Amino acid sequence: MATNTEDNQSERPTLSTSTSSFEALDPHDPNLSRLATTMFNKTADYLYGELTATLEDYRLLENMNNATITKYSDMKHIASNIAKNMNDLKEKYDTLQPYLDQIDQIEDSVIKLEQAAYKLDAYSKRLEAKFKNLEKR
């Protein structure tokens, strides 16, 4: 019986165990070869798609980073312009401060003059009333 199984094995076609290619003299199943080629093509397409998707993700991140860099650069320029304008306004305010103090002093003087004018008006009305009283007598 041992010879029978050995004969059967020698009659059967054997597949090459090589992973890189089929041996030229080994018989192989053409259907299996076609299926293997299809599998490798589809695997290559899948890997290409995965790598392309990853590449697109990185491109998107790069575009987003570039947009962020541009936005922050714009914001930096705006902030520096605001700081410059604030310093200019502070300098102008410091320049005007003595005049503003004078205006405050003048306002205080005007208020005091107005109060004195009201008192003088009231006093003159009292004097006029007394004068009329004296005239009537």
Q: What is the pTM of this model?
A: 0.49
The answer as to whether 91 is a domain residue is: yes
The answer as to whether 114 is a domain residue is: yes
Tell me if 29 sits within 8 A of 13, measured CB to CB: yes
pLDDT in tens, the chain (137 residues): 444 444 444 454 455 455 555 555 556 788 888 999 999 999 999 999 999 999 999 999 999 999 999 999 999 999 999 999 999 999 999 999 999 999 999 999 999 999 999 999 999 999 999 998 988 87
Q: Quote the domain boundaries for residue 126.
A: 28-136
Coil/strand/helix, residue 126: helix
What single letter denotes the amino acid at residue 119? Answer: K
The answer as to whether 32 is a domain residue is: yes
Count of domains for the chain: 1
The answer as to whether 40 is a domain residue is: yes
- pLDDT at position 2, please? 46
The answer as to whether 46 is a domain residue is: yes
Query: Distances in Å between the alpha carbon of 108 and those of 58, 112, 114, 116?
Result: 70, 6, 10, 12
The answer as to whether 103 is a domain residue is: yes
φ/ψ of 16, rounded to 5, equals -70, 140
